[in-house]
Amino acid sequence: TTVANIRPDHHFQRIAFARLTIMTAANAIKTISVIGAGQMGTGIAQVAAHVAKVAVRVCDRAQTPLTQSKAATEKWFSSQVSKGRFTEAVAVESMERISYHVDMKDAVADADFIIEAASEDVEVKKRILKLADEIAPPHAVLASNTSSISISALGSATNRPQQTIGMHFMNPVPVMKLVELIRGVATSDETMKTTNDLADLMQKETTESKDVPGFIANRLLMPYINEAIFVLSEGVASKKHIDTTMTLGTNVPMGPLRLADFIGLDTCYAIMQVLHREFGDSKYRPCPLLANYVAAGWYGKKVGKGFYEYQPDRKRGEK
């Protein structure tokens, strides 16, 4: 008996349809390419390999970030095994699904879905997507993990704007359940469905945003962080008291200054620049203290210094 012949009111038909939907998505997406081996790209690769169980090609222009990404992935899987979340055999099987490439041709040529996860710079992202478009199979979707940049603008750099979409993961990717989906003016319904299918395979919840600067999450989050930095720079309160006020007063797990360190002050600054430039409203002006920290190379936790100082391998090693 086929699924189509089962009466719609039968409970087991709904289960069969759900399974069929997942199988269809799995059959459509067998290989993904993640371009950018930083924190976000590494997390996306981990979840795609372990949860979605697809082959993952991680690509970066230099070997060093690829080596660091592989080491971070091995460490993450080891920690999950030590916590009893899955077995060593499962970890090994998942890691074997991930390969690392300097040459984009090796990473993209057979990919069904490409996720760009480079720095928050429109020209960098356009160059990557343009090159990926030239290499990728005709059916492949081009997704950007941008957190603020116009998807329509990024799609214009390719010959497949209808297959270009925003897929904004939250950090850290293995922990955070949300993915924002952003449709550019040319993005097709089929591309949106394929992207939703991949998110389902990765066991992520999705929200959909119009193609506006900052989308939903960073339209709300970044001005909040920026204002906290103004409060610090104006001497209203110490960094400890600012963060404590927000963690205990609003029941969030992390205060705005520590959160900025975790996200990356360079990323926060880049997003605020996009919001300020695109909206033309002074309320989005990046705090000068944020600009100074970025100019000094104090990008936050990833470099060991931001609003707090961090020791390697310690979650709360501030001084």
CB atoms under 10 Å from CB of 18, counted, come to 10
Judge whether 180 counts as a catalytic residue: yes
Could you tell me if residue 182 is inside a domain? Answer: yes
Q: How far is CA 202 from the centre of its chain?
A: 13
pLDDT in tens, 125-152: 999 999 999 999 999 999 999 999 999 9
38 is annotated as contributing to ligand binding: yes
The catalytic residue among 144, 147, 150, 226 is 147
- CATH number of the structural domain spanning residue 222: 1.10.1040.10
Residue 12 pLDDT: 39
pLDDT in tens, 222-256: 999 999 999 999 999 999 999 999 999 999 999 99
- Per DSSP, 166 falls in state E
| Pairing, β 178-183 against β 164-169 | antiparallel
319 is annotated as contributing to ligand binding: no
The catalytic residue among 69, 101, 145, 180 is 180
Judge whether 123 counts as a catalytic residue: no
302 is annotated as contributing to ligand binding: yes
> What's this model's pTM, rounded to 2 decimal places?
0.86
Q: What is the largest CA-CA distance in the chain?
A: 72
pLDDT in tens, 11-46: 434 434 434 444 344 458 999 999 999 999 999 999
CA distances in angstroms from 33 to 48, 137, 157, 181, 271, listed in the order given: 10, 12, 19, 18, 25
Could you tell me if 83 and 144 lie in one domain? yes
The structural domain count of the chain equals 2
Could you tell me if 59 and 100 lie in one domain? yes
Query: What residues form DSSP beta bridges with 182?
Result: 166, 209
Residue 27 pLDDT: 56
79-92 burial: b if 16+ Cβ within 10 Å, else e = ebbeeeeeeeeebe
CA-nearest of 234, 274, 241 to 257 is: 241
Domain final residue, candidates 209, 231, 259: 209
Structural contact between residues 197 and 29, judged by C-beta atoms closer than 8 angstroms: yes
The catalytic residue among 94, 196, 218, 226 is 218
pLDDT in tens, 273-319: 999 999 999 999 999 999 999 999 999 999 999 999 999 754 444 45
41 is annotated as contributing to ligand binding: yes
CA-nearest of 9, 65, 10 to 41 is: 65
Residue 313 pLDDT: 58
Could you tell me if 201 and 223 lie in one domain? no
